[in-house]
Amino acid sequence: MQIVTLTKDTKKNILDRLLKRSPDSYPEFEARVQAIIDRVKKDGDEAIFSYTKQFDGAEINAQNVRVTAEEIEEAYEKVDQSLLDVIRKSLVNIRSYHEKQRRYSWFDSTENGTMLGQKITPLAVAGVYVPGGKAVYPSSVLMNVVPAKVAGVGRIVMTTPPGRDGKIPPSTLVAAHEAGVDEIYKVGGAQAIAALAFGTESIPKADKITGPGNIYVALAKKAVCGRVSIDSVAGPSEILVLADETANPRYVAADLLSQAEHDEMASAILVTTSEALAKAVTEEIEEFLKTLSRAEIIRKSLDQYGFILLAASMEEAIDAANEIASEHLEIIADNAFEVMMKIRNAGAIFIGPHSSEPLGDYFAGPNHVLPTNGTAKFYSALSVDDFIKKSSIVYYSREALEPIHRDIIAFAEAERLTAHANSIKVRFE
């Protein structure tokens, strides 16, 4: 990793480099993705079966596109009981956390005959995308399904790419069943997003699509946004560790590598006030790389997007963290809670030497679907709020409307909207 003195210029250069990883920086893929979307919109099932054969090598048709109860039973037989136990423990924590986010309708009435309120309605259909291919992500299943389930979504539909044998990884199926998915379909990539956005003969149209994916999935979600709601256009994974001289360099190195192994475009950044820590972390990283299975991916990630920034003070370090607005932020410092109070921009904040980022990925309970590429400045983690609608409720009796009706007429006429004004006038002719 490069050790760089933190200055205004170095910070800007790093931000510019990180932003190049955004899905918005790959326009050459957009036409390809749009062509897939257009064909699925036009040809429905025929298109998704064709693309599944082309991209995944699987023979999928109307008879086998939906996962059956028998396939789920078979998955349970193949998953180790120990993993099933962990999935269930994690599910309890995730559900418990998200239940605290549940919102309720409210109404406020007055004696003069008014009632105002907010009506909470869960979405009818949620579409959850789960990546496939070489990796298997049962944790992503739980994180996307649980908040929808807690919100009260009526129908949760999941899509995930099949293997060449037309099957879905057993741990993915088990996680989906445990979390409460209603339907699972064997389709991935941009074609799955298009199917959820427009519906096909086999796959229902969703009101919202959530879940991570590759550049094709990200750009497809961006393209259909507006036709349906989406969680975000997610970029590669990120971690920023904010540390002082009290931090254990072995812990810091291990935590940085935990995200760098995701992807060659993943970002791992240490911002510290200690030059001694910076040097010790680089040494620990080299030692870890001798044994880690994804060392080649990690090295490419660190070479391109790995930085150690030396700050003159903790205040300067905090400012840099707020500018970068990382997906995951760890604070390993003597006054970690005080530092946390000064953080404005981060997807998830992990405090102290024993709150490493994978704790949030798998088990603690908060959602691991988080804003990337600096969007933590204005976006939040996936939550129950993402799966509900809020309708304003307005009721006025004639007695309540009468004393203020001229005010409304005056306001409407000031905007030259005479039909608005007339709508009030006719009630007092």
Query: Mind telling me the catalytic residues?
Result: 327-328
Distance CA 69, CA 74 (A): 9
What stretch of H or E contains 272? strand 267-272
Distance CA 14, CA 270 (A): 12
Instruction: Read off the amino acid at residue 341.
Output: M
Distance CA 32, CA 114 (A): 54
Task: Report DSSP letters for 81-139, one per residue.
Answer: HHHHHHHHHHHHHHHHHHHTT----EEEE-TTSEEEEEEEEE-SEEEEE---TT---HH
Cβ neighbours for 417, distance < 8 A, ≥ 6 positions apart: none
Residue that has been written with the tokens 């349970």 in this structure: 76
Contact 239, 376 (CB under 8 A): no
* CA separation, residue 393 to residues 101, 339, 421 (Å): 22, 41, 21
Closest by CA to 168, choosing from 188, 149, 182, is: 188
Closest by CA to 214, choosing from 251, 160, 254, is: 160
